[in-house]
Structures are given as structure tokens and as C-alpha cells.
Amino acid sequence: MSDLALPARTARSRRSPVSFFEFWPGWLFYIPVVFFWVLQALRYGSVTLPSLSNPRIAAGGICGESKNDILDLAGTVARPWIAPYAAMVTQGHADAADLPVALAAMAGAGLAFPVVAKPDMSCNGVGVRVVRDEAELAAYLAAFPRATALQLQELVTHEGEAGIFYIRHPDAARGRITSVTLKYPPVVTGDGRRAVRALVAADERLNAVSHLLLPKLGARADAVPAPGERVTLVFVGNHCRGSTFKDGLNIVTPALEARIDEIMHDVRDVYFSRIDLRYESLEALREGRNFKIIEFNGAASEATNIWDPEMTLGRAYREQFFHYGESFKIGAAMRARGLKPVGLVALAGLWRQQKRLMAVYPAND
């Protein structure tokens, strides 16, 4: 079996293809996390102290951060490990010609189709879409809000996808990997007889999340793939879109940790981040080679291995409490250097702006 294939389910996990809390309403799952955050705020005397865990990022990456600005923090050592990207801002008028601006930005970054178009300010894959030619890019831009920043990034063709959580305290010489999530997009393999819809129904995991998958597929759900044809049902690697997340901390080697630490030392003042990347093979990833970073997430980063279907609720909360506790510790160290966390009013403004934009971004893949 390829090391990029979803591992076989263990005897323990055969009771259900999803964890019992995997698709709880967000407000319910995060009640203990909010309570923990409040306790930390009382302990440290600041609700927004984690904004200092990445002091060069807007609000530390709690919300409202710029993807382009974060990638711009990378120096000459880190840059080769990041998928090339171009930044642009849509014109202020609906009839403005955005396409020439986008094509010029792509040319300046050495990008060619296909590329991934994504909002500069967003989360959970909202608004992310693969555009394969000028016509698709023009349609994406036409649907994008006016005078708003976006990013065009190289489409990385490595099949493997992972989220690696990295933490380094400001006074420490080295950082460490504290969590790894291996992401497996929902895929069906054709038999020449059944439609995609039927293939989804025949897979226990995919059938359990079919309400997330089928509405987005549209007419593709009734197509009949050829025998052996693999059909990837979504592009964005998000468990809320049907991807399966597996805890991958056991793949970490000294070589991988050293490589990630080398990269992160060259991303200025980013101490607390989940690094989303695509990799060629697990063997190569373990050796710290043949991967490309898509983005760095900030202070609100989640250790997404908690969404492994085999994860227990108790361990999921322990992971959450540990990581957010570390963000407060780093923030306290930076405050001791004289820095001030973002104010609540400014943070609320960023949250409102992000929420408003996410409501009007183009549909994602």
C-alpha cells in the first residue's frame, strides 16, 4: 500500500467511521476551550495575550491576519520551501479589469496555470479554488469582493497533505513539533458501473459525511468513473468538508524536526504556528525533504489531529489546552520584553471584517 493512502482502520475504530464528537456543533465542542482561555486570561491578566505569540502578524494570527503578509516574513532560507505566490488587490469598481493585474502578478512571481486562488484574509478554506486558465481566473475575480486582497499560489502537485504544529519559546535556541495531522481527502475509485453517488454510499466513512460531499459535487455526483479512475471529491483539506484527519506525530524524526526548525528560524518572530504543507511521500517528509509549505497559521491555530476519528474526547481537550496554554506562555515572554498585545476593540474589528468578507467570497472547491 502506498504511504499516501489512508491507513487501515484499527479494531478500536471499527465501531464508527467518525468520532462521536467530530461533527458536534462548534459552540458545543469549544465550550471547554473558551473556559480554559478565560482561565488563562485571568492568570496572565490579558484576554488577548496570545496575539504576542507571533508579534509581526496582525493580532498574532488570532483572526484577521493576512496570508500574504505572513509568507512575506520568510527569508532566504525559508523561501525555497514555500510554494511560490503572488499578491494582488481587486480593483475598486465592478467593471474594472482585474485579469490583467492578476496575470501581471503571476508573471512577476513566475507562476503559470493552474494556480490556487484564495482570499488573503480567511480561514477553513473558505473561498479557495483551483483556477486552470484565464477564463476561470476571470470568473473567480469577477465574483470576488471589490478592493480586497487575494493570493494566487502555485498548485503543488504532491499528493500528501499535512499540518505540522511548531512551537518555539522566544528565549529557546530550538523549537519543536508538537502535533502532526496527516490529511486524506475523500476519494472514490471507479468500477465503470456505479456513479460517484453510489460509490460514496458504499464507503462507510464517506457515506457518514455524504451530506457534506454531495451538495458540492452537483452533476459530478451522477457521473460514472472508468474502472480504476480515482475521483477526488474536494480540493480543500478540511475535515468539515469530508477529509479524514489522522494523528501523525509518530512520523516525526530528528531530520524533520531540524528542517522545520531551520525554516521557522527564518520566518521572523513566528513562534506558534501550524504549518500546512504538501509532501511527496511520508518517507521523504520524515527525512525533511520534498515538501512545499502552503501557509503558516497563527495564534488561533488548532492542533487538527484532534479530528482523527480514533481520537478520544479527553485527549482532544488535552491537546487544545496544551497548545493554547503555550500561546499564553509565549505571549507573556514577549510582553516582558515591552510589547503590548492587541486591544479587544481592534481584535473585534478584525473579526468583524473577516466575517463580513467570508460571507461574500466565491464558493470554494
Q: What is the pLDDT of residues 31-87, one digit of tens each?
A: 999 999 999 999 999 999 999 999 999 999 999 999 999 999 999 999 999 999 999
Q: Which residue has the higher pLDDT, 112 or 187?
A: 112
The whole-angstrom separation of Cα 82 and Cα 275 is: 10
The whole-angstrom separation of Cα 228 and Cα 192 is: 8
Question: DSSP strand E in the chain: where?
Answer: 85-89, 115-119, 129-131, 149-154, 160-167, 176-184, 187-189, 230-232, 244-247, 272-279, 291-297
Give yes or no for residue 259 having a pLDDT over 60.
yes
Give yes or no for residue 299 having a pLDDT over 70.
yes
pLDDT at position 209 = 82
- pLDDT, tens digit (0-9, with 9 covering 90-100), for 16-30: 677 889 889 999 999
CATH 3.30.470 fits 36-184+245-358, yes or no: yes
What string of DSSP letters covers 25-79? -HHHHTHHHHHHHHHHHHHHT-TTGGGGGSTTSGGGGSSS--HHHHHTTB-TTTG
Q: What is the mean pLDDT of residues 291-311?
A: 95
pLDDT at position 342 = 97
List Cβ neighbours of 81 (8 Å cut-off, separation of 6 or more). Answer: 263, 291, 292, 293
Q: Which of 158, 163, 190 is nearest to 178 (CA)?
A: 163
The whole-angstrom separation of Cα 178 and Cα 157 is: 26
The whole-angstrom separation of Cα 281 and Cα 97 is: 41
Q: How confident is the model at residue 237 (pLDDT cuts 50, 70, 90)?
A: low
List Cβ neighbours of 73 (8 Å cut-off, separation of 6 or more). Answer: 56, 57, 267, 268, 269, 270
List Cβ neighbours of 5 (8 Å cut-off, separation of 6 or more). Answer: 184
The secondary structure of residue 182, as a DSSP letter, is E
The whole-angstrom separation of Cα 234 and Cα 130 is: 11
Give yes or no for residue 120 having a pLDDT over 90.
yes
Q: How confident is the model at residue 215 (pLDDT cuts 50, 70, 90)?
A: confident
Q: What is the mean pLDDT of residues 224-245?
A: 83
Q: What is the mean pLDDT of residues 206-218?
A: 84
pLDDT at position 5 = 73
- Residue 193 near residue 226 (C-beta atoms within 8 A): no
Give yes or no for residue 198 having a pLDDT over 80.
yes
pTM beyond 0.95, yes or no: no
Give yes or no for residue 92 having a pLDDT over 90.
no
pLDDT at position 95 = 63
Q: Give me the chain's average pLDDT, please.
A: 93
SS3 state at 104 = helix
**Other beta carbons within 10 Å of 321:** 16
pLDDT at position 8 = 65
Give yes or no for residue 94 having a pLDDT over 90.
no
